[in-house]
Amino acid sequence: MQQQHLLHLQLQLVTPTTVGPTTSGSTTESTVTVMYPKDLEVTCSQALALMTPLMYVILAPSYAVVLYAAFVKFANMFNPANINAKERHKLRLQRILEPREAFELLRHH
């Protein structure tokens, strides 16, 4: 039903409504290039074939740096020697800061 209505509207737009003889003017060829679906596929595949390796060349070094940084970070985080060193550092700071805190508490009271 809707298609019939659209066809009817198109026919109304195409049929002339002038009463009298119509003169045919000079016709010019259209300069608009028609692009068919197959042409679009070919055009897009060429652009895709060019951009894919280009993006790999651009992004591969950044991926390598990020992965290297992540592996180094995790290796340091879970290294038992580093964990023990952090624990020793924390204990040493507690021993250093405890007398000062006790002295300040006595001084304020």
98 belongs to a structural domain: yes
Chain centroid to CA 61: 18
Radius of gyration of the chain (CA): 40
The secondary structure of residue 33, as a DSSP letter, is P
What is the tally of structural domains in the chain?
1
Domain that holds residue 77: 61-108
Mean pLDDT over residues 38-61, rounded?
90
Distance, in Å, from the CA atom of 24 to the CA atom of 19, rounded to the nearest integer, reads 15
Determine contact, residues 76/82, Cβ cutoff 8 Å.
yes
Distance, in Å, from the CA atom of 19 to the CA atom of 9, rounded to the nearest integer, reads 20
Distance, in Å, from the CA atom of 59 to the CA atom of 33, rounded to the nearest integer, reads 36
33 belongs to a structural domain: no
What is the predicted pLDDT for the residue at 72? Answer: 96
Who's near 92: CB < 8 A, 6+ residues apart?
Answer: none
17 belongs to a structural domain: no
Residues in the chain: 109
Write out pLDDT tens, residues 53-109: 999 999 999 999 999 999 999 999 999 999 999 999 888 888 888 766 656 666 765
77 belongs to a structural domain: yes
55 belongs to a structural domain: no
43 belongs to a structural domain: no
